[in-house]
Amino acid sequence: AVLYYDDGRLDSRLAYAWRDEYLPTTAGQFGASRFFKAYGQLDFSLNYKATDNLQFTFQVLNLLNEQRKEITRIPGISDLPTNILELERRVFVGLRYKL
C-alpha cells in the first residue's frame, strides 16, 4: 500500500510492504522445514525542490524497526526460533544539485 503526495515542489511517499510467512527452501536440517515468519515494513520519503537546480531529500527505511524472524518447524513440536535478522531503521539525508 502506498500513499503519495506531489505538488511539483514537494513530494512525499509512505509505503507499507507485507510478505506472509514463506518457505525459502525445501532443504531443511534433519528433515525439518525452515520458514520466514510474516513480515511488514513501513518506509517514508520526502523530497523538496528548493530551486530548479537544488533538491533536498529525506528517507527513512523500516520506520517501525521491524525484524525478520526465521523459525524451524518440526511436526509435533512447537516452532523453534532459528534466526533473527536485525534490519534496523535506516535514515538517509541528501542534497542534489544540477548544473
Kindly report, residue by residue over 14-60, the tens digit of the pLDDT: 999 999 998 887 666 667 888 889 999 999 999 999 999 999 999 99
Confidence of residue 80 (pLDDT cuts 50, 70, 90): confident
C-alpha dist (Å) from residue 35 to 4, 12, 61, 76: 33, 34, 24, 16
The stretch 68-93 carries a mean pLDDT of 86
The stretch 52-70 carries a mean pLDDT of 94
What is the rounded CA–CA span in Å between residue 18 and residue 1?
9
DSSP state for residue 77 in the 8-state scheme: S
- The reported pTM is 0.79
